[in-house]
């Protein structure tokens, strides 16, 4: 599926000027090979176990858009993250939205709250214990998050130094992934990978309240979550329902018996 996400016309130009760290990814695209395996190899070469790249095609967090996620994390974790609405409590997301710099993350770097314990306990079962996360932008000005994950439980001074030494390379990889992926998504209108997946309970709640006429701000107040998080839920469910906006999503969900009008 990810082979088709490499833009064909500019690939030779990208290959000509690509830094060595991203050359395996560019070569895989040029040869129509598996991009996920290429990016996984890059991540492992930088000292991590897995990667996650997520983007919405809107330039503003309050605009309707679809969410795209590319990752080599275990499918069971991806489903669990989605169905339990971990996007609402994932402390890494708040950390990167509050910093213009890459965030070196691990459990002890965040408050020992009930929500954080729940998140990290679940993540640890899939070997997701620490890593680095960052926001990236490109010529389309659409926000994205790039995360490298590791099974290393604690980031001591030695491990922090190892990560710090490769942060420049991580930023280069994130930038190239973002530019190549999003250019292709926008230019070719490719469907999100989540298309057709079931809505989570929280996504159905958001849709149900929207069908009753509530705004995103009102939905957030009703559910006890932030307005930005409401828009993130709508970005995810628009992709699942293959809808262009929430009105179309409401219509499709109603027709499928997922919510009531």
- Express each pLDDT in 101-147 by its tens digit: 899 999 999 999 999 999 999 999 999 999 999 988 755 556 789 99
pLDDT in tens, 198-223: 899 999 999 999 999 999 999 999 99
Whether pLDDT at 54 is above 60: yes
Same domain, residue pair 97 and 133? yes
CA distance 19 to 205: 45
Task: Quickly tell me which residue has 């994950």 as its tokens.
Answer: 149
Domain with 25 in it: what CATH number?
3.30.450.80
DSSP single-letter state for residue 129 = -
Same domain, residue pair 118 and 184? yes
Instruction: Identify whether 245 is part of a domain.
Output: yes
Instruction: Identify whether 210 is part of a domain.
Output: yes
Same domain, residue pair 20 and 58? yes
Q: Which of 156, 188, 220 is the last residue of a domain?
A: 188
Model confidence, pTM:
0.81
In sequence order, the 6+-apart residues with CB closer than 8 A to the CB of 165 are: none
Same domain, residue pair 150 and 120? yes
Tell me if 229 sits within 8 A of 216, measured CB to CB: no
Same domain, residue pair 120 and 207? no
Tokens matching residue 27: 């070569």
Same domain, residue pair 85 and 130? yes
pLDDT bucket at 196, cuts 50 / 70 / 90: confident
pLDDT in tens, 68-102: 888 999 999 999 999 999 999 999 998 998 888 89
Q: How many residues does the chain have?
A: 261
Instruction: Identify whether 260 is part of a domain.
Output: no
CA distance 66 to 47: 31
Same domain, residue pair 128 and 61? yes
Instruction: Identify whether 206 is part of a domain.
Output: yes
Query: Domain count of the chain?
Result: 2
**pLDDT number for residue 185:** 58
Same domain, residue pair 175 and 94? yes
Same domain, residue pair 222 and 180? no
Same domain, residue pair 136 and 84? yes
For residues 26 and 94, which has the higher predicted lDDT (pLDDT)?
Answer: 94
Instruction: Identify whether 194 is part of a domain.
Output: no
Where are any strands of DSSP class E within 8-96? 50-56, 67-71
**pLDDT number for residue 94:** 87
Tell me if 166 sits within 8 A of 83, measured CB to CB: no
Domain with 249 in it: what CATH number?
1.10.10.10
Q: Which of 161, 188, 215 is the last residue of a domain?
A: 188
Same domain, residue pair 28 and 132? yes
User: 146 in helix, strand or coil?
Assistant: strand
pLDDT bucket at 36, cuts 50 / 70 / 90: confident
Instruction: Identify whether 196 is part of a domain.
Output: no
* Domain with 72 in it: 2-188
Instruction: Identify whether 195 is part of a domain.
Output: no
- For 52-74, letters b (16+ CB in 10 Å) and e give bbbbbbbeeeeebbbbbbbbebe
pLDDT in tens, 218-261: 999 999 998 888 988 988 898 888 888 889 999 999 998 888 86
Instruction: Identify whether 193 is part of a domain.
Output: no
**pLDDT number for residue 258:** 87
Whether pLDDT at 181 is above 90: no
């Amino acid at each position: 599926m990810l082979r088709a996400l490499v833009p064909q016309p500019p690939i030779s130009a990208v290959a000509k000027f690509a830094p060595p760290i991203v050359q395996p990814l560019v070569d895989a695209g040029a040869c129509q090979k598996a991009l996920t395996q290429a990016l996984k190899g890059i991540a492992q070469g930088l000292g991590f176990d897995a990667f996650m790249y997520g983007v919405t095609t809107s330039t503003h967090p309050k605009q309707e858009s679809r969410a795209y996620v590319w990752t080599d994390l275990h499918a069971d974790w991806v489903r669990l993250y989605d169905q339990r609405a971990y996007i609402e409590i994932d402390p890494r997301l708040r950390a990167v939205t509050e910093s213009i710099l890459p965030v070196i993350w691990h459990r002890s770097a965040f408050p020992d709250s009930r929500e954080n314990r729940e998140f990290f306990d679940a993540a640890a079962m899939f070997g997701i214990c620490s890593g680095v996360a960052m926001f990236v932008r490109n010529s389309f000005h659409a926000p994205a998050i790039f995360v490298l994950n590791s099974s290393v439980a604690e980031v001591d001074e030695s491990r922090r130094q190892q990560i710090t030494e490769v942060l420049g390379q991580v930023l280069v990889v994130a930038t190239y992934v973002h530019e190549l992926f999003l250019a292709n998504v926008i230019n070719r209108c490719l469907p999100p990978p989540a298309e057709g997946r079931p809505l989570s309970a929280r996504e159905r709640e958001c849709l149900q309240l929207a069908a009753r006429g509530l705004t995103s701000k009102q939905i957030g107040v009703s559910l006890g979550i932030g307005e930005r998080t409401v828009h993130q839920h709508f970005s995810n469910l628009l992709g699942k329902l293959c809808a262009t906006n929430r009105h179309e999503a409401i219509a499709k969900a109603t027709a499928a018996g997922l919510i009531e009008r």
